[in-house]
């Protein structure tokens, strides 16, 4: 297997044995809090971990890191101005989810934990009878999963270096400054201390969906990413585990969530409907596009997919290609799940993915765009990150020492009951990832230099004529759509475009 790029300093393991863990709390309550979050150490750790995993499953990054071969070299022919593709040493076959990947016992332990949680579904069968929203039996599953996670599963499956950490000593008594109401109004109460297992458990329990709202979305997926990052920060995962995390552990998690969604008909959490990328997931599109990126995007140049041996982005509309690739690639696996739960023309129920499939420059540009879109549509959206928890592993402190945490969040936040907790020493960072401002629309944000305005088509802004010119004008809006964006135009004709007879695009469980 190819060598792995080194992890960034922001996610270096915490080596302080006296580190005090804290029970995570919600902090984001306003737009000002969201702005502070984008300059926080928690944001830097999450984004650095995501970027590192993304590089570790990219053939392009592997070949560039080892300086094996340039993915493009100018052709020698005088009558050809197109770059000539040179096949790199490490191709995409080394990064399939079916590839031979070394799985450490620490990673296998978390995979076994996820598998155990999936088995609990058989103990909590869905309730029968008419219903409008999700199945209430999910609450029974979540309660049972919570009991087993907090009682035995974390002790059994977390890396031993984490479960062996000593519990924190009781905090020393502090003298509070009181007012006439006998309450401390100038100093917030200290955070609750806890074990490493308890702090990590908050993020794991937050990654399965909401038992109150009976939904699942990208905020819960973010919580699972934080769970993995927290184990990494505590040295539970080591350098060399990255590919197993993406190609083995994350697929196991996605299988669990898809089982929960289909078994209990979980609603999309905070979905934009057809104007969003996906009803439930985002990470498989990032890692899946990275798996297929073998060469850097060249402006106006379409990769030689036949030489590379990967499908075209436009092949997501071909059901047979999707079925052939869904077990090998996370991107096509996510698209395959859409076909499992939705019917009708693909361009109609997934117009954003359909637009992205027309990117001429290939998977490299799509991967770059997906990362930017994740910053804008997940990390930069208040309805998503307002449910994120901050403790010692993901501190509510700024990487800019001149910026203090906002008092409105740090003093008035009420901890939501959940079994987990912690606190960590802030380490100096040699790198700081710039934050991406939240965008006011669902338009994909990675078209540099283009003014983002609302348009009447759903074409992603980076598509730039890759489907042979601008799309046909949309049909005139009907009376009931007055003042809204009309439905997208029908896709251009062509072989392999899946059209299931124009059937309704409602998810099959919407009765």
pLDDT at 185 over 50: no
| Tens digits of residue pLDDT in 351-389 | 999 999 999 999 999 999 999 999 999 999 999 999 999
Confidence band for 64, pLDDT divided at 50, 70 and 90: confident
pLDDT at 95 over 70: yes
Chain segment 440-493, per-residue pLDDT in tens = 444 444 544 444 434 344 445 455 444 444 444 444 444 333 333 344 444 444
For residues 52 and 237, the answer to whether their CB atoms sit within 8 Å is no
Q: How far is CA 195 from CA 2, 17, 154, 365, 417, in A?
A: 37, 13, 12, 42, 16
> What pLDDT, on the 0 to 100 scale, is given for residue 404?
54
Q: For residue 435, is pLDDT > 60?
A: no
Residues 162 and 158: their CA atoms lie apart, in Å, by: 7
The Cα 459–Cα 448 span in angstroms is: 16
Check if the beta carbon of residue 310 is closer than 8 Å to that of residue 294.
Answer: yes
> What is the band of 174 on the pLDDT scale with cuts at 50, 70, 90?
low
Q: pLDDT for 102-158, tens place per residue?
A: 999 999 999 999 999 999 999 999 998 777 788 999 999 999 999 999 999 999 999
Judge if pTM exceeds 0.85: no
Report d(CA 222, CA 311) in Å as an integer.
28
**What is the model's pLDDT at position 155?**
94
């Amino acid at each position: 297997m190819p060598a792995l790029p080194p992890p960034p300093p922001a996610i270096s393991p915490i080596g302080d044995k006296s580190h005090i863990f804290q029970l995570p709390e919600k902090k984001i309550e306003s737009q000002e809090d969201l702005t502070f979050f984008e300059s926080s150490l928690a944001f830097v750790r999450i984004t650095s971990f995501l970027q590192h995993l993304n590089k570790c499953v990219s053939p392009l990054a592997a070949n560039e890191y080892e300086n094996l071969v340039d993915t493009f070299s100018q052709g020698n022919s005088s009558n050809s101005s197109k770059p000539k593709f040179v096949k790199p040493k490490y191709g995409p076959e080394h990064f399939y989810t079916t590839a031979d990947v070394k799985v450490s016992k620490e990673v296998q332990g978390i995979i076994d934990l996820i598998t155990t949680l999936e088995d609990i579904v058989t103990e909590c069968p869905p309730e029968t009878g008419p219903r409008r929203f999700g199945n209430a039996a999910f609450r029974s599953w979540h309660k049972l999963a919570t009991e087993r996670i907090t009682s035995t599963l974390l002790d059994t499956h977390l890396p031993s270096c984490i479960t062996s950490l000593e519990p924190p000593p009781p905090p020393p008594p502090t003298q509070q400054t009181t007012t006439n109401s006998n309450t401390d109004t100038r100093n917030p109460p200290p955070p609750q201390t806890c074990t490493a297992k308890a702090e990590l458990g908050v993020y794991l329990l937050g990654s399965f969906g909401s038992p109150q709202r009976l939904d699942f979305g990208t905020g819960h997926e973010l919580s699972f990413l934080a769970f993995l990052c927290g184990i990494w920060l505590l040295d539970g995962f080591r350098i060399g585990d990255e590919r197993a995390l993406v190609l083995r552990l994350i697929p196991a998690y996605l299988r669990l969530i898809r089982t929960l969604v289909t078994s209990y008909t979980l609603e999309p959490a905070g979905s934009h409907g057809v104007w969003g990328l996906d009803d439930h997931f985002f990470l498989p599109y990032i890692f899946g596009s990275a798996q297929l990126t073998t060469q850097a995007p060249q402006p106006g140049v379409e990769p030689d997919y036949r030489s590379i041996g990967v499908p075209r982005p436009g092949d997501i509309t071909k059901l047979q290609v999707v079925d052939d690739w869904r077990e090998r690639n996370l991107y096509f696996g996510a698209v395959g799940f859409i076909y499992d739960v939705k019917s009708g023309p693909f361009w109609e129920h997934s117009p954003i993915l359909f637009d992205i499939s027309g990117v001429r420059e290939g998977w490299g540009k799509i991967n770059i765009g997906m990362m930017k879109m994740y910053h804008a549509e997940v990390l930069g959206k208040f309805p998503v990150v307002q449910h994120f928890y901050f403790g010692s592993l993901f501190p509510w402190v700024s990487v800019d020492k001149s910026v203090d945490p906002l008092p409105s969040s740090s003093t008035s936040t009420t901890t939501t009951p959940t079994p987990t907790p912690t606190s960590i020493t802030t380490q100096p960072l040699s790198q700081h990832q710039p934050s991406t401002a939240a965008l006011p629309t669902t338009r994909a944000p990675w078209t540099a230099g283009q003014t983002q305005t609302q348009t009447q088509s759903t074409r992603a802004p980076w598509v730039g004529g890759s489907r042979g010119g601008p799309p046909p004008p949309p049909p005139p809006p009907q009376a009931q759509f007055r003042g809204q964006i009309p439905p997208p135009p029908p896709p251009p004709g062509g072989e392999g475009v899946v059209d299931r007879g124009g059937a309704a695009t409602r998810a099959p469980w919407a009765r």
